[in-house]
Structure 1
Amino acid sequence: MPVHPSTIEFVNDSGTPIRVVRSTRRRKTISAVWKESTMVVSVPAGLTHDAERILVLDMVKKLERKVARAVVPDADALLLARARAMDAELFGGRAAPASVRWVGNQTRRWGSASLRSRRIRLSDRLRGMPQWVQDYVLAHELAHLVEPRDGHGPRFKTELSRFPRVHDANIFLAGVSHGYATKPYATSGGASGAVPDAAGLPLADDDDFDDFEADDGDHERF
């Protein structure tokens, strides 16, 4: 009687690496777990090849469906974690944002901050942009929480200058805003009033971020 190998490995049609382990201690049950990006399926050693093949493929499909249904990380929770890490690194934790969320209804603002509730909202138009551009907008709103009474004044700008790519991000966002403004049927606003820098390129206008309401100290534009 031929001796079958105790372990076989293959890759299924969906590209999943699979290792089948034949165990003499198993009699009726099979199990599957992920180990270092490989699906390991344990089966009874006494199974016929046909039975083993059917049971293994069925178990793999079940586990793949389970993984597909797994909860996707909360994008807002990840954004809040990023904001708190940046706050610690750039501002020594002084901004202390209470919540940070992506929103879809900020069509004329890249971001906004509420000084009373310490909430930050970022336009989801940023989500397809480079990470350092997203982080710049986040740093801009965090700087408002650090300097809540300075608007876009010198103390605010001093805090924001802690972010290493302020100038680059301003130019990037100004270009994007200009693109929105020149598209047919685009809403007015964005960087149309931006002041060019020394190279003749427009810089992002402060109006692209938030409004300062003197009566309640909030920067909000939802």
Structure 2
Amino acid sequence: MPTESPREWLPADASRPDVEIRRSARRQKTIAARWEGDHIVLLAPRSLSRKLAAEYVHRLLPRLMAEARNAEKDPRRTDAHLADRAAELSARYLNRRVGPTRIRWVTNQNTRWGSTTPSTGSIRISHHLWGAPEYVLDYVIHHELCHLIEPSHDARFKRLEALYPHVDRAKTFLDGMIFERSRTERPAGPSA
């Protein structure tokens, strides 16, 4: 039995771009939205009605439009930039042995700099790194790529991670970000 339904489109109107609705039998309750190119993709349970899908898009639209404005201001804040960096890092340090099926920025990840789901090949990078130097972002992406080869933090993982030449410098920068957040009494920053 297939788990995906045919894709459905909500045509653009004055307030938003085209929306593609992707329904899945695997998705039971959660609904998510993201940009793909110049349109929005709504990931929804198979049972979600078209009317309710349009209401969710309306609710999520302010966040999605803010993401688009941020990408215009800083192209590094795009998922495409992350994909380019992941391809470059895989080629340079991991002999192209691995690449994510998907890599994206997320704004709901406050206790980690990045996370990986090895079974799906998906990587998520925390928005807390938007302003970080490129070598720091590259380190976090490289770290997560290593998890696609070795899920644990064992000796094999450490050897793979050490192939990136700026590990210590990047970790020092990230430790400084955590310290600064704790010093100003905000919740502790993410960890890799």
> 1:114 — aligned with what?
117
The Cα of 1:77 is off from its aligned counterpart by 1.5
- TM-score, normalised to structure 1's length? 0.50
Q: Are the equivalent residues in 1 in contact too, given 2:112–2:189 (CA < 8 A)?
A: no
Give 1:81-160 correspondences, 5 Å limit: 81-148=84-151, 151-160=152-161
For 1:99, the aligned partner's letter is R
> 2:171 — aligned with what?
170
| Equivalent of 1:77 in 76, 80, 86 | 80
Report percent identity of matched pairs. Answer: 39
Q: Detail structure 1 runs of 4+ shifted over 3 Å in the superposition.
A: 71-74
The Cα of 1:108 is off from its aligned counterpart by 1.1
The Cα of 1:92 is off from its aligned counterpart by 1.1
CA shift in 2, pair 1:131/1:188, >3 Å:
closer
**In 1: Cα distance, 2:119 partner to 2:178 partner:** 29
> 2:180 — aligned with what?
179
- TM-score, normalised to structure 2's length? 0.58
Give RMSD over aligned pairs. Answer: 1.9
Higher gyration radius (CA): 1
Tell me the alpha carbon deviations over residues 25-65 of structure 1, each in whole angstroms, 9 at most, x when there is no partner.
xxxxxxxxxxxxxxxxxxxxxxxxxxxxxxxxxxxxxxxxx
**In 2: Cα distance, 1:134 partner to 1:77 partner:** 14
Tell me the alpha carbon deviations over residues 117-174 of structure 1, each in whole angstroms, 9 at most, x when there is no partner.
10111111111010000000001001111223xx111100100111001011111100
The Cα of 1:189 is off from its aligned counterpart by 6.4
The Cα of 1:78 is off from its aligned counterpart by 2.0
The Cα of 1:188 is off from its aligned counterpart by 4.3
Query: SS of the counterpart of 2:136?
Result: helix
> 1:26 — aligned with what?
none
Give 1:7-26 correspondences, 5 Å limit: none
Higher helix share: 2
**In 1: Cα distance, 2:188 partner to 2:147 partner:** 25
> Which runs of 5 or more structure 1 residues have no equivalent in the other structure?
1-70, 191-207, 210-222
